[in-house]
A and B are shown apart, each in its own frame.
Chain A
Amino acid sequence: MLDLDDLDALPRLGWVSPSPCTPEPQTARRLGLASLHIKRDDQLEQLHGGTKTRKLDHLLATQPWRDAPSWVSMGAIGSGHLVALTEAARQLDRHLFAHLFWEPPSPSILDNLAFVASGPTTLRFTVARTRLGLRNPELLLSSVTADGVVIPPGATGPEGLVAMARAGLELAEQVRSGALPEPDVLVCPWGTGGTAAGLAEGLRLAGLSTRVVGVSAVEWALSHPARVQSVLRQASRALERAGISTPKGREPAGVEVVRSQLGAGYADPTPASQLAVHELSALGLAADSVYSGKAWAWLAASAAELRGKHVVFWFTPHRGHLPREWDWFDRLPENLRRRLRRPERPGPTRRRLLLGLASVGAVAALGVRVTGYDRMTDWSGVVLARWEAEAVAAVAEALLPPASSGPGPTPEQVAANVDAFLRGMPAATLREVHAMFVLLEHGTPLGLSLRRVTRLPVEARLAFLDRLQSYGGLLAIARRSIRDLCLLGYWQDPRTWSSIGYGGPRLPRQHRPRYDELLAPPNALPAGVVS
């Protein structure tokens, strides 16, 4: 059985002293646990706290990183690993070349990004993780690039694994001191795997038989059983290389990786993880919905399984709000700035690429449905594509009264009116509007027709729209939305008003106030401008 002293000979910067392990009796009672303790790595003093501090404490004390003037690493735009590295670079007067890939932004992710952009860093951005790896294989395969020495993603190299084994020993020491009972289960997030694997090794070395559960925040490729075993082997070998002899005859360390909380994929928050963030916030913990939120969500969802057990939740994020420079956004690479301004635009990730290919195949199988829009060749709308405008016109033709019933706009004019109305709508709303048009125009197979809506006869269009209404749910909402847009495009036209007795605007004849005296003169700057 080992203890912390046995690792004292290993090089480290001395940034880490034991983090508190705080009891949460009320939550334990609510969940039916014998006890619940939260290992508060956010309280680690250096680098704004967080478990990454532990890994860098060992890694940056080791060559070649110790003396390198610059480091290179990669992570998602909200990477906690890059946050810790940025702060380490600032404290040790180094420079960090950070290669970023996309994840859906959230407040905590943008907080991290703003901090990284505000530090001694040079940022580069590639949308997709896979493309980043293909373009820069040296980030994964080499130890040095033209910019500096490479720090592995998540700092999950041998030094990081040893650091986390040390953390396991630290917990065991707290158990021995009576700060908490021996845990039956330890719950932590699983990303690159270093935290869970290192902790499992440390607990095993300390003689504890705690079950370590890593809640996966990453896809199957990074959390499948062979990958888990590989990381565990790395941890074991790293300890051996560091001269830590493992007790003979003892069961190898194990981590049970659960994938039930992943949701749509890496960095996509789930309702449960968002709720978890809220619950953790009530305990005074600033959690993220990507890692710690999903780990807590598993704990909360597994209360029945964990009933009566002593549980430790390893809280890995850094402390709350990070400082930032006011112009951090302008320090980002142009392609990332562009992307953040329109985060809704789907990136060419592998999953989306596959979905896209599948869609194209499906379309090909159904016949050519995406060409041949020639009704409105001079379309000059801003929001709607030409085919969408033709869809509006086709639906307007079916839903609105015929021209013979009285004066009014043509279906093409209705489409133009709809386009004008949609300008300036929130991005999320416009995304839904575009999706609605896809559903509408290409949803005809639901009605057993292979022809798209714009090619159906008017009566068949109407029947299809009625059918959408009867299906309910999203289909009915889509039908109602496009109906309302068509009505808006139609009844705004003054030619339609006389038929209903509406007189239209009654603007005052005399001068109307312009409040010019409130307006700043052209080219004037506000008082108080500092830059």
Chain B
Amino acid sequence: MIFDTNALPLPIKLRADLVIVGSGAGGSTVAMEASAAGLSTVVLEAGGFIPPSSMTQREEQMLPRLLYANGGQVTSDKAVHIHQGRAVGGSTVHNINLCKRIPAPILDDWRRTRGLEHLPPERWAELYGEAEVLIGVRPVPRTRWNRHNRLLEAGCDQLGWKGSGLSHNRSGCAGSGFCLLGCAHDAKNNAVRVLLPRAIAAGTQVLTHCRAIRVLHDGSQVHGVEAVALDARTREPLGRVVVEAPRLCLSASATGTPALLLRSRVPDPGGETGTTLRIHPALVAAGVFAEPVRAWDGIPQTFECTEWLDFDAVHRGAEAPDEAGKRTWIVPAFAHPVGTATMMPGQGDAHRALMQQYEHLAVFTGMIHDVTVGTVRPSGDLEHRIDYWPVDADRRELAFGMAASARLLLAAGAERVVIPTDPPTLVRSPADADALADLDLWPHRLDITAVHPMGSVPMGDDPSLAAVDSRGAHHHVDGLWVADGSLFPSSIGGPPQLSIYALGLHVGRAIVASG
């Protein structure tokens, strides 16, 4: 059952066979596997339970309920925005349901550099097969692609660039276009709809508004977790929650998990925990079309441009190639009025004039398979600090992605392309668009946004290097496990949710098998 800690007597102490921190794709899948095997399981979730019946499709109401820091999480220098979920179901509640497997060259690279005895590529294939069935992954029929996505397809066709339709985990979709604000139509086959009902039916207990702050351990064995109940309205601490358990699985995201490990001083001789963060940073370009696009209307992100992704080249040798244009993934990206208004530069009448083009805008984003490593550190008991600024090769790739997005928009028929510098940069020709690739990026020149933090506790077979092995088990503290995107040894170049569901299956079963 789901218990709101705001309604429980505090302080409170529980005992369980397994406690899981986080109820997103990783945590809920582990809960489903563990409780089905008979382990008494408690899941701690920092956010609240937000069923479709309470989703309002209003940005100002849903973003604070669904996203960490009300959607305002930024790096320490405020130059990069990083969006992450905070609710029962984690980021699976607000994401856009894209499902892609990790490309084979990356899996081969991981095997070569990290070992991953328990997760060879063939094991990934099995797990993907299971996860895709579990959450109902299917290609979005072409008949459901909206004009926004068809413009990206048209741009690719015009330029002769590679592109294709995408697969999503949705069923019964009404095409309202409000996926980012949670699905009021309950059409997402996500953690809340698919996994947690099964876990709860098997006995899992979920404590909401409960933020884990410290792993209880003695340096070699885990004993449970210490948490605080947070006021649902103000997010201020209400009282202590302690769950004693011989097994603890951290699925608190690629920022929450390393912060928790570091705050708890869990041994890590290799020093990788929290020092290898990747985020898939992205820049946008907005095209203004003569005809209305109404980009918010219909299923978002059903088409991708893969012309500038070359995983073979990137993962062939020890170092990523220096040449830009091999690590960029381009998809349509759109927002409702508040998101669009804050993305658009300027103020007053000039900003208003840009907003009046809203109905005619198509926005493409170039998201990069990043090589930059950022850091995550705890900040007090409840927060964390992220440091990340793209290295030179990633800045060039980001600029390249923005230039390619502008080329696509122009090829699709945009009258002009707006680059959200302040004042805005207007692009009217392919030559102007190509010149964007030489744009120097410095903090705050353009809004860099990321939605895929990962890789901050990378798994590996060598305990002197990695903190966690390829089962998700911590090398140095028995009973401690990790099951979320932290485990990826590098950035993966595409949406991570399917891979995290797969890891949840893998780690959940390893926990059960460990006895």
Question: Once bound together, how far apart are the Cα atoms of A278 and B378, in whole Å?
Answer: 13
Beta-carbon contact of B348 and A401 below 8 Å: yes
A-B contact count (CB 8 A): 221
Question: Once bound together, how far apart are the Cα atoms of A480 and B178, in whole Å?
Answer: 27
Question: Once bound together, how far apart are the Cα atoms of A484 and B351, in whole Å?
Answer: 12
B119-127, B158-166, B379-387 - the one binding chain A: B379-387
Beta-carbon contact of B53 and A500 below 8 Å: no
Question: Contact size class for B?
Answer: 35 or more
CB-CB contacts below 8 Å: B236-275 with A: 236-237, 240, 242, 244, 262-265, 267-269, 271
B171 within 8 A of A: no
Beta-carbon contact of A529 and B12 below 8 Å: yes
Please pick, from A284, A330, A382, A522, the residue contacting B269 in the complex, using a CB distance under 8 A. A284
Question: Once bound together, how far apart are the Cα atoms of A423 and B63, in whole Å?
Answer: 12
Chain A residues, CB < 8 A from B359 = 500-502
B49 within 8 A of A: yes
Please pick, from B49, B57, B219, the residue contacting A505 in the complex, using a CB distance under 8 A. B57
Question: Once bound together, how far apart are the Cα atoms of A487 and B382, in whole Å?
Answer: 29
Beta-carbon contact of A502 and B70 below 8 Å: no
Asked whether A513 and B296 contact (CB < 8 A) given A425-B69, A500-B337, the answer is no
> Residue on A with the closest CB to B1?
A520
> Residue on B with the closest CB to A484?
B342
Question: Once bound together, how far apart are the Cα atoms of A421 and B65, in whole Å?
Answer: 10
> Residue on B with the closest CB to A330?
B11
Chain A residues, CB < 8 A from B8 = 525-526
Query: A300 to nearest B CB, angstroms?
Result: 16
Query: B380 to nearest A CB, angstroms?
Result: 6
Question: Once bound together, how far apart are the Cα atoms of A327 and B242, in whole Å?
Answer: 9
Please pick, from A398, A490, A506, the residue contacting B178 in the complex, using a CB distance under 8 A. A506
Please pick, from B185, B192, B207, B355, the residue contacting A526 in the complex, using a CB distance under 8 A. B207
A29-37, A357-365, A426-434 - the one binding chain B: A426-434
Q: 1/0 per residue B54-67: CB within 8 Å of A? A: 01111110001000
> Residue on B with the closest CB to A342?
B236
Chain A residues, CB < 8 A from B351 = 399, 401, 487
Chain A residues, CB < 8 A from B178 = 505-506
Beta-carbon contact of A512 and B200 below 8 Å: no
Beta-carbon contact of A399 and B348 below 8 Å: yes
CB-CB contacts below 8 Å: A85-117 with B: 105, 107-108, 110-111
Question: Contact size class for A?
Answer: 35 or more
Please pick, from A107, A341, A481, the residue contacting B262 in the complex, using a CB distance under 8 A. A107
Query: A528 to nearest B CB, angstroms?
Result: 4
Beta-carbon contact of A528 and B337 below 8 Å: no
> Residue on A with the closest CB to B347?
A399
CB-CB contacts below 8 Å: B303-322 with A: none
> Residue on B with the closest CB to A111?
B265
Question: Once bound together, how far apart are the Cα atoms of A7 and B53, in whole Å?
Answer: 77
A518 within 8 A of B: yes
A420 within 8 A of B: yes
Question: Once bound together, how far apart are the Cα atoms of A108 and B42, in whole Å?
Answer: 27
Q: 1/0 per residue B71-97: CB within 8 Å of A? A: 010000010000000000000000000
Asked whether A469 and B422 contact (CB < 8 A) given A405-B352, A526-B14, A527-B40, the answer is yes
> Residue on A with the closest CB to B262?
A107
Chain B residues, CB < 8 A from A504 = 57
B491 within 8 A of A: no
Beta-carbon contact of A326 and B1 below 8 Å: no
Asked whether A496 and B337 contact (CB < 8 A) given A508-B174, A528-B15, the answer is yes
Please pick, from B12, B55, B70, B218, the residue contacting A425 in the complex, using a CB distance under 8 A. B70
Chain A residues, CB < 8 A from B297 = 503
A524 within 8 A of B: yes
Question: Once bound together, how far apart are the Cα atoms of A472 and B352, in whole Å?
Answer: 24
Question: Once bound together, how far apart are the Cα atoms of A341 and B240, in whole Å?
Answer: 11
Query: A309 to nearest B CB, angstroms?
Result: 27
Chain B residues, CB < 8 A from A398 = 348
Question: Once bound together, how far apart are the Cα atoms of A528 and B43, in whole Å?
Answer: 13
Question: Once bound together, how far apart are the Cα atoms of A491 and B1, in whole Å?
Answer: 38
Chain B residues, CB < 8 A from A110 = 381
Chain B residues, CB < 8 A from A244 = none
Asked whether A528 and B336 contact (CB < 8 A) given A427-B382, A508-B174, A515-B51, the answer is no
Beta-carbon contact of A423 and B383 below 8 Å: no
Asked whether A480 and B196 contact (CB < 8 A) given A425-B70, A520-B1, the answer is no
B338 within 8 A of A: yes
A286 within 8 A of B: yes
Q: List 23 A-B contacts (CB under 8 A).
A: A105-B381, A282-B269, A320-B219, A321-B217, A321-B265, A326-B13, A343-B380, A344-B380, A382-B234, A398-B348, A421-B64, A424-B70, A462-B348, A488-B60, A497-B337, A503-B297, A506-B176, A512-B53, A512-B55, A513-B51, A520-B2, A526-B205, A528-B205
Known: A107-B378, A501-B294, A527-B205. 4 other contacts (CB 8 A): A400-B347, A515-B197, A517-B197, A522-B7
